[in-house]
Amino acid sequence: MSSAKMKVEMDFGEKEFPMSHEDFQRIAGLAGRYTGIVLGDHKQDMVYGRIARRVRKLNLNDFSSYLDYLEANIDEELSNFINVITTNLTSFFRENHHFEYLQKTVLTELKRKNSATKRLRIWSAGCSKGMEPYSISMTLLKSGIPSDWDVKLLATDLDPEVLETAREAVYSATEVDGLEERTIKNYFQRGSGGKDVKVKDKVRQFIHFKRLNLLETWPMTGPFDFIFCRNVVIYFDKPTQKVLFDRYADLLDVGGYLFIGHSENLHGISDRFENMGNTIYRKIR
């Protein structure tokens, strides 16, 4: 056995393509630079499985050839790289307590507070395949926001592939299993074979999907009434999170709400929010 092959087997066991530690470091460097996502050594198996898909698809022999290809063709290949690196897991009414709080507290308050402007500005940052902004939109409809209000819900993600799914608004019927029958009836139409559901136009009407990297400059000036950024920053390091939450605070009205993911918190990251419990925060300064 050649020493190069032996090294691969020692490091990673028998795998379809060789991936050296140096390859992994290069992947982690590119992921950090382009997405802010931190890939620790414990992510090597996950990274192997995901990047191997691209190596196979491009008929390459190993990871280092893929990385050379990626760097030489960054404009074409970057979105595929981002798509395999990011975790897009999401679902309708995920962490349902957020939608209950939104309906009972936040929207009740905003209906009063914004009654003169009749305006609502909302951002779903890291919206993945669209289930989060659609769930927000359904909550707006359930809350009886008057139809003459000017409501805009910006939904952004880094990954163009998930945004395509989000814009199409067609999902497997299994994705709505477990939702209340009333919700399914009011806000989805069933496809002819019964296998798919499509989000109704009245739910889609408020939403504008846009590609946006949270690490880059943002074209929006705000202010937003509330922002959802859930299950996105878990992959970022603390300094990146600090900058990001500061930028969210800048774009929120005082009293505006920020919803974050179940394993995230602002402790030691931002003092511009008060904790309302259940990973819900309110801007205080």
Ligand X SMILES: C[S@@+](CC[C@H](N)C(=O)[O-])C[C@H]1O[C@@H](n2cnc3c(N)ncnc32)[C@H](O)[C@@H]1O
- Please give the residues from 229 up to 268 whose contact with ligand X meets the rule CB under 6 A: 230-232, 261
| Known catalytic residue at 253 | no
- Asked if 128 is part of the footprint of ligand X (rule: CB under 6 A), the reply reads yes
Count of residues that interact with ligand X, criterion CB under 6 A: 24
- Asked if 43 is part of the footprint of ligand X (rule: CB under 6 A), the reply reads no
- Please give the residues from 67 up to 106 whose contact with ligand X meets the rule CB under 6 A: 86-90, 94
- Asked if 137 is part of the footprint of ligand X (rule: CB under 6 A), the reply reads no
| Known catalytic residue at 50 | yes
One residue of 66, 93, 126, 248 binding ligand X per CB under 6 A: 126
For residues 234 and 230, give the distance between their C-alpha atoms in angstroms, rounded to a whole number: 9
CB atoms within 10 A of CB 265: 13
For residues 220 and 224, give the distance between their C-alpha atoms in angstroms, rounded to a whole number: 10
DSSP state of 236: B
Q: Which stretch binds ligand X (CB under 6 A): 11-19, 108-116, 193-201, 224-232?
A: 224-232
One residue of 214, 227, 249, 260 binding ligand X per CB under 6 A: 214
Rounded least distance, CB 214 to ligand X, Å:
4
Pick from 99, 157, 146, 93: nearest CA to 123: 157
Rounded least distance, CB 178 to ligand X, Å:
15
Among residues 23, 26, 157, 230, the one annotated as catalytic is 157
Structure tokens given for 159? 């990954």
For residues 247 and 228, give the distance between their C-alpha atoms in angstroms, rounded to a whole number: 13
CB atoms within 10 A of CB 282: 17
DSSP states along 52-72? HHHHHHTT-SSHHHHHHHHHH
Active-site positions read 50, 157
